[in-house]
Structure 1
Amino acid sequence: MNTIFIKNMVCNRCIMVIQNELNKLGLEAKSIKLGEIIFEKELTQKEKKQLEDTLVPLGFQVIDNKKSRIIEKIKNIIIDLVHHQDNHIKTNLSEVLSSELHHDYNYLSNLFSEVESTTIEKYFIAQKIEKVKELLVYDELSLSEIAFRLNYSSVAYLSNQFKKVTGLTPSHFKQIRADKRKPLDKV
């Protein structure tokens, strides 16, 4: 089997786009998940080049060094936890990453900070705040329901973290977003 690692795959739509492009190229993947494509057979250099040439204009990138692959896996695990699993993990992030990637957390943390110029924790918080923004815009959950869903210890802690990252309170953010919406008859 042959695994190709892809940068910037962040959602199920990315997986569908990759699958569609593979179909166009006549390449059959055994599986596609965030950050990687597994093929039954080894791709030829020509097939790899075609794949890369197809994916780059779509905002994806083939990753060929080990450190970049680890960084991308860290990001994909965090994105999956925050955006696709409602963050119902009861263990801490360092344990999840160490367990999934089979590396000591200190190694992962130092590598991530060195390459990304930010910490894993700050990246995790940024993803959580993006999810909070999304949920606020949907306007289906109260702030306390959002705090619970994203595993915050309290609404106050979520609000403080939100303000620290965005410069706005959640309610002010929600109000600004509501002011920008046009009534359907004005669209």
Structure 2
Amino acid sequence: MDAMKLYIKNMVCNRCKMAVKATLDRLHIPVAGIELGEVKLERVITPGEKEQLEADLNALGFELIDDKKSRLIENIKKEIIQLVHHQDGELKTNLSDYLGSRLHHDYNYMSNLFSEVEGTTVEKYFINQKIERVKELLVYDELTLSEIAYQLNYSSVAHLSNQFKKVTGFTPSYFKNIRHEKRKPLDMI
């Protein structure tokens, strides 16, 4: 039988992937591969299986995505999360060129669609992801602020500090000291 791809909203971390995989296993739906926001099944599922899967995923806070525009938005989020949280220091070009080359769409189209649907810009989403990564690295307390700035491609520690304060209301050092409300789940950004 043919393989099938499903796109799942809010599947943004490894625990999310594990929860989705466990749901599919429980429903005896064979999985060929699973990535952030995307599942490749070994076969096409029946309408009844899809209905049950959708109900089970919704109960976990996930949502099946059917239309192309929603899939594109989830792919934009997936690429940004992958870039910020899993490929430290890899962005050597600007975000618009990076997303355009990875997703094979005009950046202006993607940016306008993202803003229209999400109520925020791609750039703000990217900055918020970077700030969450900075919070994570500050809490781990293994890198200096200078090393964090370099790893996340900030032009300087001052630039990182200014952006951090603008988003959180705190300086990085103050945040490191208070350690309350440290981080947000990636799907809540």
- Say whether the fold is shared (TM-score over 0.5): yes
Corresponding residue number in structure 1 for 2:154: 152
2:170 corresponds, among 152, 168, 171, to: 168
Matched residue count: 179
Structure 2 runs not aligned, ≥5 long:
183-189
Structure 1 runs not aligned, ≥5 long:
181-187
Corresponding residue number in structure 1 for 2:23: 21
Does the aligned pair in 1 maintain the 2:32–2:40 contact within 8 Å? yes
Letter in 1 for 2:86: H
CA distance in 2, matches of 1:102, 1:21: 31
Residue 65 (structure 2) pairs with residue 53 (structure 1): no
Corresponding residue number in structure 2 for 1:33: 35
Deviation at 1:87, TM superposition (A): 3.8
Deviation at 1:133, TM superposition (A): 0.6
CA distance in 2, matches of 1:24, 1:87: 38
CA distance in 1, matches of 2:77, 2:112: 14
- The CA RMSD over aligned residues, in Å, is 1.3
CA distance in 2, matches of 1:116, 1:19: 27
Residue 84 (structure 2) pairs with residue 82 (structure 1): yes
CA distance in 2, matches of 1:155, 1:77: 25
Deviation at 1:135, TM superposition (A): 0.7
| Matching of residues 5-154 of structure 1 within 5 Å | 5-154=7-156
Corresponding residue number in structure 2 for 1:185: none
Instruction: Among all aligned residue pairs of Structure 1 and Structure 2, give the percentage whose two residues are the same amino acid.
Output: 66
Corresponding residue number in structure 2 for 1:183: none
SS of structure 1 residue aligned to 2:15: helix
Deviation at 1:55, TM superposition (A): 0.8
Deviations along 1:78-130, one digit per CA (max 9) or x if unpaired, are 01111111142212211121112111001000100111111100000000000
Does the aligned pair in 1 maintain the 2:30–2:43 contact within 8 Å? no
The normalised TM-score by structure 2 is 0.91
Q: Select the structure with the greater relative contact order (CA < 8 A; seq sep ≥ 6).
A: 2
CA distance in 2, matches of 1:74, 1:55: 21
